[in-house]
Chains A and B, each alone.
Chain A
Amino acid sequence: MAISTAYPLPISLRLLAAWRRFIHWLTTPHVILGLLMLVSMVYLILVPLYRMLETTFTVQDRDIHHIPDAVPGEFTLFHWVRMLTDPISEVMTYAPLQHSLVVSIGATLLALLIGSALAWLIVRTDIAGSNVINMLATIPYIMPSWTIAMAWTVLFKNRTTGGAPGILEYLLGEGPPDWLAYGPLPIIVSCALHYYTFFFLFVSAALMSIDSNLEEAGELMGASRWRILQKITFPLIVPAMLSGFIMTFSKVMGTFGGPNVLGIPVGYYTLSTMIRSDMGIGNYADGFVLAIVLILFAMTTVYINQRVVGTRKSYETIGGRGFVAQRTRLRQWRIPLTAGVIVFQVMVAILPLALLTFSTFMLIDGEYSLSNFTLHYWIGESTPSISDGMPGVLRNPDIYKGAWNSIALSLWTAFFAALLGVILGYAIAKGRGTRLSKLVEQLAFIPYIIPGIAFGAVYISMFAKPVGPIPALYGTFALLVIVSVAKHLPYSARTGVSAMLQVGRELEEAGQVAGANAWERFRRIIFPLTSPGFVSGFLMTFITTMRELSLIILLVTPSTQVLASMTIRYNENGNTQMANAVILILVTLVLIGNWLISLFRGGSLKKGLGM
């Protein structure tokens, strides 16, 4: 072998050969794009993470009061010691951590129960109205995650916090107990009702992919229905349940809206609300410690999932090939179950919106008589006595600004996410098997395991001060776009890779042989064949960004408010009706976006959610 030694060339020629080989490698499209992505991701992900870690080990200006003789900028273990061992850590770290875990596990288990039961009923029984059930199942997930939490307060809030009474208190004359109005239980329920869609989709896809022969084989051997479910069906859908579990768990860990609306009034802090509170008072280093704790927990969960099932394996079951399955007959239970499911779904999907709408018509919150009816919060002129003199939402320039910001943020994010999706997809799919491709793919996965609020925190550390040629981006709209695009990288990469993999490599090679250069091949062959995937990816990103809150809550400033953050701010300032009206506007925008997607994709439930 070793041909190069067979007829040794002079050193100059060998250097020339090495240079030519390097240029050939570098000018391979997937290599140069891969390198470009590598640099971007180091900058967008690794550097911010490092800066965050660094901050927790550095003496901050405000620490001088706490640490004698400290010089800002020096290395210190102060923050870690304080947040992990000091008596204050009980309140600052361990209680929020415990709350986060309780809420996440509780919400995930409840979502698992609801989603799986519903999936089984739809896929494996002769329940009536499965189309309606299918459609209703997605609505809670399409709405912003804290919609149900806001509606919950309309119904259940009591006067513990000194505010107005909820509907229940008005009707019964007595306020619901605190445990029902605020704290872990309502947070768990409201999150579970938002996220059960994951389980519903994953488990129904898994159930659809199980060949009913497997179950019939058990039946022929004389096993009972229950035993078959337990011994054959259940083990086959466990991987799907686990991937749903991971997704939901890490989302709830990082969720901000629900715990903020339902936890803060009674001092029930989770990690995400505590991080915000630290950041709010400028205590960045401590907030970062909590963010890192949060990231570590999310990473551990994903790691366990991969060890137990392996992402690949769990994904295969989600493929879904659709065998003809034998459906269980519900007999006399058919009608009651159908009715029960639909009533439940209407309560989850439509009642919250109705409650929120209802509350916006009340001049004084909590006063339920007809004389209190008003359209002021929608179309009223500014009156000093009502909601700090703010006009109704439809007359309010702040709202229009926020709505425009929401739309602009979503459009820019969707555009860049789609663009990065094209590049990442090409670099990863065409370079498959090379180390560069693997590295890029793994880096692009990192944002997936960083909970939303922690990811926002990471970006504060990165862009609060100028970095090299980049100015301090904190407070700018551009920063919101950057953080949203970066958080979307895993989805961009996945969309891009699957779109690219659908185009056989021969199609590009045929162009290569025919003499087309890389740009021509992309423009005339690859792009036309992959564009449908990227368009739906674009729309998908558009609506998810629109309802995103946890990610950007730490980064918005009064001039960059979006609708999602405005609902939280109004709510915190006690302008309940305004908050509710804004969330209704947001829901309307998201529903319109979703309707456009379903037009584009032919209305399939699963596709409509981009899964």
Chain B
Amino acid sequence: MGTSIVIKNLSKRFGNVIAVNNVNLTIEPGTFLTLLGPSGCGKTTLLRCIAGLEDPNEGEIYIGDKLVFSGARGINVPAGQRHLGLVFQNYALWPHMTVRQNMTFALEIQKMPKEQMEQRVRESLAEVQMLGYEERYPREMSGGQQQRIALARMLAYRPKVFLMDEPLSNLDARLRIDMRSELKRLHHVSGATTVYVTHDQIEALTMSSAIAVMRDGVIQQVDTPERIYRCPANLFVADFIGNPKVNLLEGSVDGANTLDLGKFKIAADTYHATGAVVAAIRPEDITISTTSTPNAIEFKVYSVLPSGADSTIVAQREGIEVTVRVMGNTKIKMDDPIWLTFNPDCINLYDKASGKLISGKEVSH
């Protein structure tokens, strides 16, 4: 099982607002692709265009080898004939129907025999561990249970593609983490091509086989989670991904493999770069020392934020602020002097004018 989705030059406008701007995206069969971006970036609109709930203005969408939308040719296959499953953010369970009725709705339209329907209901409920809830109404279940039923309702009619629009955002934090592994497992077992929309980078990084980062209707980067984290294609992606946030330091290339950050210089692979650049370094790629070490730069601790498993240290020097992440608890206190070493292999350089990545290290697999 597995269906590809190909999107070509797709645009969707609402009045003067361009929600989806000339998007090209190929989703390989069996991929778990996440559309990730801040609210209003067009990710949900793109998903709805694939589902057939929104009419795009231009472009083409193929599901499998079937052309389901073409602006130029006026083709627009109705949502019901695209054989997709969609899980909504608020579940959209029909409140006047029991769990069973919710699940058999689509099957009845397909005129499936009764015994087979019953079997589908049982199988799908078993997959989400909700057997025994057939006669409940949605309001008689908790949010987490409703979420599972919404999944089961989609599974019951065996769609070729799973579409999910922020399915976990209405759950509390604990449940959300549990459901992540369930969803990942579900994808693993079914092998169905999945398009998942979220604004939560942790969800995207933990669950996806590919991530497409969007901003203002434009896809910024499509890549594996690891490369999205390690080699962001531009400053927006670098800044959007990662918590605590990446350190972005403005400076200029000062000869071979040296960066001038204004008040001090650090070593970095500068490749062919020249002129004004922005250096991006993750908080965990900075080594901290309480004593003076060679090539380390002295900073003063501004704030210490321990959170159990790790601690975040904010340090300042001559107007430059740097966030550093260390494992475990730290003895470092506020206003202590510390010496920071920036790992040269982990620094990505971006062209200051265009914001594009100009050099960076390859991910080692």
A and B pair up: yes
Return chain B residues, CB-CB under 8 Å to A511.
94, 105
Return chain B residues, CB-CB under 8 Å to A516.
80, 105-106, 109
Complex interface: stretch among B81-89, B295-303, B341-349, B353-361: B81-89
User: Contacting B86 at CB < 8 Å: which of A507, A509, A529?
Assistant: A509
Does A4 sit within 8 A of B, measured CB to CB? yes
Question: B109 touching A4 by the CB < 8 A rule?
Answer: no
Q: A3-B59, A515-B106, A516-B80 are in contact. Are A510 and B94 (CB under 8 A)?
A: yes
User: Contacting B110 at CB < 8 Å: which of A20, A515, A517, A528?
Assistant: A515
CB distance from B222 to the nearest CB of A (A): 20
Return chain A residues, CB-CB under 8 Å to B51.
509, 513
Does A312 sit within 8 A of B, measured CB to CB? no
Question: B73 touching A9 by the CB < 8 A rule?
Answer: yes
Complex interface: stretch among A11-19, A79-87, A284-292: A11-19
**Complex Cα distance A1/B23, Å?**
10
Chain A, residue nearest B76 (CB): A24
Chain A, residue nearest B75 (CB): A20
Q: A3-B71, A9-B73 are in contact. Are A512 and B109 (CB under 8 A)?
A: no
**Complex Cα distance A433/B17, Å?**
13
Question: A512 touching B9 by the CB < 8 A rule?
Answer: no
In A1-54, which residues have CB < 8 Å from any B CB? 1-4, 6-7, 9, 13-14, 16-21, 24
Question: B9 touching A3 by the CB < 8 A rule?
Answer: yes
Contact with A along B106-142 (1 / 0, CB 8 A): 1001100000000000000000000000000000000
Does A504 sit within 8 A of B, measured CB to CB? yes
Does A132 sit within 8 A of B, measured CB to CB? no
Question: A504 touching B157 by the CB < 8 A rule?
Answer: no
Question: A512 touching B105 by the CB < 8 A rule?
Answer: no
Question: A20 touching B79 by the CB < 8 A rule?
Answer: no
CB distance from B11 to the nearest CB of A (A): 6
Question: A514 touching B74 by the CB < 8 A rule?
Answer: no
CB distance from A192 to the nearest CB of B (A): 44
**Complex Cα distance A201/B80, Å?**
46
Question: A529 touching B95 by the CB < 8 A rule?
Answer: yes
Chain A, residue nearest B84 (CB): A513
Return chain A residues, CB-CB under 8 Å to B105.
511, 514, 516, 524
Question: B79 touching A513 by the CB < 8 A rule?
Answer: yes
CB distance from B147 to the nearest CB of A (A): 14
Return chain B residues, CB-CB under 8 Å to A9.
72-73
Does B202 sit within 8 A of A, measured CB to CB? no
In B255-289, which residues have CB < 8 Å from any A CB? none
Return chain A residues, CB-CB under 8 Å to B109.
514-516, 520
Question: A504 touching B92 by the CB < 8 A rule?
Answer: yes
Does B96 sit within 8 A of A, measured CB to CB? yes
What total of A-B pairs shows CB separation below 8 Å? 97
Question: A19 touching B80 by the CB < 8 A rule?
Answer: no
Return chain B residues, CB-CB under 8 Å to A7.
72
CB distance from B84 to the nearest CB of A (A): 6
CB distance from A10 to the nearest CB of B (A): 11
Question: B85 touching A513 by the CB < 8 A rule?
Answer: yes
Does B316 sit within 8 A of A, measured CB to CB? no
Does A69 sit within 8 A of B, measured CB to CB? no
Question: B72 touching A3 by the CB < 8 A rule?
Answer: yes
Does B334 sit within 8 A of A, measured CB to CB? no
In B146-173, which residues have CB < 8 Å from any A CB? 153, 157
Return chain B residues, CB-CB under 8 Å to A14.
72
In B86-105, which residues have CB < 8 Å from any A CB? 86, 88-90, 92-96, 105
Most B CB within 10 A of own CB, among A3, A18, A510? A510
CB distance from B287 to the nearest CB of A (A): 48
Return chain B residues, CB-CB under 8 Å to A24.
55, 74, 76
Return chain A residues, CB-CB under 8 Å to B59.
3
**Complex Cα distance A24/B52, Å?**
12
Chain A, residue nearest B21 (CB): A1
Contact with B along A93-106 (1 / 0, CB 8 A): 00000000000000
Question: A514 touching B92 by the CB < 8 A rule?
Answer: no
**Complex Cα distance A438/B66, Å?**
36
Return chain A residues, CB-CB under 8 Å to B58.
1-4
Chain B, residue nearest A524 (CB): B105
Does B53 sit within 8 A of A, measured CB to CB? yes
Question: A507 touching B71 by the CB < 8 A rule?
Answer: no
**Complex Cα distance A2/B59, Å?**
9
Question: B157 touching A514 by the CB < 8 A rule?
Answer: yes
| Chain A interface, DSSP helix/strand/loop, else mixed | helix
Chain B, residue nearest A9 (CB): B72
Chain A, residue nearest B95 (CB): A529
Question: A506 touching B74 by the CB < 8 A rule?
Answer: no
**Complex Cα distance A507/B53, Å?**
12
User: Contacting A506 at CB < 8 Å: which of B11, B72, B90?
Assistant: B90
Contact with A along B196-230 (1 / 0, CB 8 A): 00000000000000000000000000000000000
**Complex Cα distance A569/B10, Å?**
69
CB distance from A511 to the nearest CB of B (A): 7
CB distance from A275 to the nearest CB of B (A): 45
Does A70 sit within 8 A of B, measured CB to CB? no
Does A139 sit within 8 A of B, measured CB to CB? no
Does A525 sit within 8 A of B, measured CB to CB? yes
Chain A, residue nearest B83 (CB): A515
**Complex Cα distance A21/B76, Å?**
8
Question: B94 touching A1 by the CB < 8 A rule?
Answer: no
Does B145 sit within 8 A of A, measured CB to CB? no
**Complex Cα distance A24/B58, Å?**
15
In A491-527, which residues have CB < 8 Å from any B CB? 504, 506-507, 509-517, 520, 524-525
User: Contacting A19 at CB < 8 Å: which of B74, B84, B110?
Assistant: B74
Most A CB within 10 A of own CB, among B55, B72, B85, B153? B72
Return chain B residues, CB-CB under 8 Å to A525.
94
Return chain A residues, CB-CB under 8 Å to B84.
513
Does B22 sit within 8 A of A, measured CB to CB? yes
Return chain B residues, CB-CB under 8 Å to A6.
9
Q: A507-B92, A509-B86 are in contact. Are A20 and B53 (CB under 8 A)?
A: no
User: Contacting B80 at CB < 8 Å: which of A20, A507, A517?
Assistant: A517
Return chain B residues, CB-CB under 8 Å to A520.
109
Contact with B along A409-432 (1 / 0, CB 8 A): 000000000000000000000000
Return chain B residues, CB-CB under 8 Å to A18.
74
Most A CB within 10 A of own CB, among B14, B59, B109? B109
Question: B81 touching A515 by the CB < 8 A rule?
Answer: yes
Return chain A residues, CB-CB under 8 Å to B9.
3, 6
Chain A, residue nearest B53 (CB): A509
Return chain A residues, CB-CB under 8 Å to B71.
3-4
**Complex Cα distance A7/B8, Å?**
13
Question: B96 touching A528 by the CB < 8 A rule?
Answer: yes
Return chain B residues, CB-CB under 8 Å to A16.
73-74
**Complex Cα distance A514/B154, Å?**
8
Question: A20 touching B73 by the CB < 8 A rule?
Answer: yes
Return chain A residues, CB-CB under 8 Å to B73.
9, 13, 16-17, 20
In B5-28, which residues have CB < 8 Å from any A CB? 9, 11, 14, 22
**Complex Cα distance A288/B294, Å?**
98
**Complex Cα distance A17/B57, Å?**
13
Q: A4-B71, A19-B74, A506-B88 are in contact. Are A512 and B94 (CB under 8 A)?
A: no
Return chain B residues, CB-CB under 8 Å to A515.
80-81, 106, 109-110, 157
Q: A516-B105, A525-B94 are in contact. Are A509 and B79 (CB under 8 A)?
A: yes
Q: Which 8 A-B pairs have the closest CB atoms?
A: A17-B74, A20-B74, A515-B80, A514-B106, A506-B92, A510-B92, A3-B58, A21-B74
Q: Please name 18 further chain A to chain B contacts, defined as beta carbons within 8 Å, in addition to the given A9-B72, A512-B53, A529-B96, sorted by A numbering.
A: A3-B9, A3-B11, A9-B73, A17-B70, A21-B76, A24-B55, A504-B92, A506-B88, A507-B94, A510-B86, A510-B94, A512-B79, A513-B51, A515-B80, A515-B81, A515-B157, A524-B105, A528-B96
For this complex, 8 residue pairs linking A to B, each with C-beta atoms less than 8 Å apart, are A3-B59, A17-B75, A20-B75, A506-B92, A512-B80, A514-B106, A515-B109, A515-B110
Query: Footprint of A on B, CB under 8 Å?
Result: 9, 11, 14, 22, 51-53, 55, 58-59, 70-76, 78-81, 84-86, 88-90, 92-96, 105-106, 109-110, 153, 157
